[in-house]
A = this chain, B = another copy of it.
């Protein structure tokens, strides 16, 4: 190990500590901060972000990287750490400072406009500022493309999900798009002959919802000595290394959303809490990209907690927690409630079956917009056509259509695919885990996520960024790269029940 490598470890630990401070400040902004303090918080955040960027782009870092790469003598963890340092550094230095600033300003302006434009369902109002964001994001993508030898869109994907490439996503999503519209139709037909689910009637006191959520978090292994559960308008998993803070939002008339929301964020949190402790402040100790991160929330929420086995255990527990009575509390009703499929307009309200269709739409559109194959002015029409084809409904206005998400106004291009890559990864990990440990499914029927989380700890959480991409990690964990057939099998088993047996193999 060279002196240069040691300097890099020190430098990246320092950057990580600033990142952790920013994580706590961001959590505070969304949970605790008084309304009138946002200007001051923006100053604090901007100052720390600039300091971290300066530490990252300091010319000495480039020298240390070159020297460490040229010398060798590192073990596998250190070599992976150095590779991640190089990747982070390449992303940080590829874009000139004035372009970063111009992009950041364009984003701030566009986010503000978006709030009004969405409320008023007025795409024309958003168009100028979104054009500016797209222009700047494209320039950033081109700068990164030049530095990294990738296409601009692939460079954007790589920022959120290292190693992800559009050629591969094209194939995977084509696989999904090939069967999803038909599958949705079959699921809806099947649902139509089942009894409609009943909604348990509240009110459900926030304190009881919180207590039940915390009970499930504990059962899943969330460590409350290094984390918290709080309330925010938009639920998230944030905070710092070793101080993981998740949030939810309670509705006193409906406990079901917050409860699964808590378990979703718990899945993210278990990944953060389970990262290898000795490397917490080094790049190799970080999570392996957003798709794998999303897989960890979805394996807990979708694969485990929405499974018939778990819901069978949950129904009487929830009934007791809220003092409920009647048929709405029957396990099979809870299962029908938690697996309801609908052709809807809004991504964040979508169920597990239609969600990928929403994502494929966004992926196609943003790729075309970045490539210049679609003019931004034509987005609403293209959106509605895609919704018709993929989801089977056409939104009546742009508020319920192309204005619904903040991602594009806030500069997060290349982010959407990770939601569905995460869902597919979750299905594949769960299948492998259940095969490797036959005790995992029976434990769910006792409300016990322990065996599943233990398997994830070894195969995902504890690996950090040892593998260079999510696909490498998945291959090591399941024996093969991401495979759409596994996700299809999961959907058919859960939503078409006994029918799945008679289906032809994929």
A contacts, CB < 8 Å to B: 13-14, 17-18, 20-21, 24-25, 28, 32-37, 39-41, 43-44, 46-48, 51, 223-228, 240-243, 280-281
- Distance of A41 Cα from B44 Cα, bound (Å): 17
Minimum distance in angstroms from A226 CB to a CB of chain B: 4
User: Given A37-B240, A39-B242, A226-B37 in contact, is the A44-B24 Cβ separation under 8 Å?
Assistant: yes
- Distance of A20 Cα from B198 Cα, bound (Å): 50
Contact A21 B47 (CB under 8 A): yes
Task: Determine the main DSSP class of A at the interface with B.
Answer: helix
Query: Which residues of B have CB within 8 Å of A39?
Result: 242
- Distance of A405 Cα from B194 Cα, bound (Å): 70
Copies per complex of this chain: 2
- Distance of A51 Cα from B49 Cα, bound (Å): 13
Contact B228 A40 (CB under 8 A): no
Minimum distance in angstroms from A55 CB to a CB of chain B: 9
- Distance of A409 Cα from B39 Cα, bound (Å): 37
Minimum distance in angstroms from A263 CB to a CB of chain B: 20
Contact B43 A243 (CB under 8 A): no
Query: Which residues of B have CB within 8 Å of A51?
Result: 18, 51
| 15 further contact pairs, Cβ within 8 A, besides A24-B25, A34-B243, A37-B243 | A13-B43, A14-B47, A17-B44, A18-B44, A20-B40, A21-B48, A24-B44, A32-B228, A33-B243, A36-B226, A37-B225, A37-B226, A39-B242, A44-B240, A48-B48
Nearest B residue to A230 by beta-carbon distance?
A: B32
28 A-B interface contacts by CB (under 8 A)? A17-B43, A17-B44, A17-B46, A18-B44, A20-B40, A20-B44, A21-B44, A21-B47, A24-B24, A24-B25, A24-B44, A25-B25, A28-B28, A34-B226, A34-B243, A36-B225, A36-B242, A37-B225, A37-B242, A39-B242, A40-B241, A40-B242, A40-B243, A40-B280, A41-B240, A43-B281, A44-B240, A51-B51
Minimum distance in angstroms from A218 CB to a CB of chain B: 14
Which of B34, B228, B240 contacts A228 (CB under 8 A)?
A: B34
Minimum distance in angstroms from A285 CB to a CB of chain B: 13
- Distance of A238 Cα from B35 Cα, bound (Å): 17
- Distance of A130 Cα from B58 Cα, bound (Å): 41
Nearest B residue to A15 by beta-carbon distance?
A: B47
Query: Which residues of B have CB within 8 Å of A34?
Result: 224-228, 243
- Distance of A371 Cα from B17 Cα, bound (Å): 40
Contact A225 B35 (CB under 8 A): yes
- Distance of A170 Cα from B388 Cα, bound (Å): 85
Query: Which residues of B have CB within 8 Å of A14?
Result: 47
Nearest B residue to A44 by beta-carbon distance?
A: B21
